[in-house]
Amino acid sequence: MRIVVLVSGTGSNLQAVIDAVASGGLDVEIAAVGADRPGTGGVARAAAAGIETFEVPFRDYADRGDWNHALTLACRFYQPDFVVSSGFMRIVGEEFIDAFEGTYINTHPALLPAFPGAHGVRDALAYGVKVAGCTVHIADAGVDTGPILAQRAVEVLDGDTEESLHERIKVAERALLIETLAGLAAAAR
């Protein structure tokens, strides 16, 4: 199973996938890693692992539609079975969603459909939940919507800050992403 992974930041989820592939624990091919801005840690991690990389910097395009078209073409070039949004902090447009319909996977640090958006952990804490978590889902045209593939609960501890809770959620999210990808790869065989 071929995947393209999209990142915007440090690439900690990506590193977990790279490590799982390298150890033989995950039977997928990371065809490429792409980013929406130059110089991300995720692209550096991929390059260090010998994985092809590409950048489609949002700021280089006249409008969101032009950027979305360029991202769609860049991902399509690698002919992935799935595109994985792993800390990719851009909302893609209709052309991208249509091109990868049913095969665009997103990770989110909350138990969707609760707390969608860029501040899921902060919003969960502000609401006072006792259990937070993470979700892996098929992304559609909405914000953090689409069919849920897997979820994992993470207990909110007394004294948790957004940072401390988010770090525990990230650990669960990495494991859940690898398990989900392994399940999809097994089903594709």
Catalytic residue numbers read: 108
> How far apart are alpha carbons 173 and 189 in whole angstroms?
25
The tokens for 17 are 């996938």
β-sheet with 2-7: strand ranges across: 53-55, 29-35, 2-7, 82-85, 104-108, 131-138, 148-155
Which stretch of DSSP H or E encloses residue 20?
Answer: helix 12-22
> How far apart are alpha carbons 56 and 94 in whole angstroms?
17
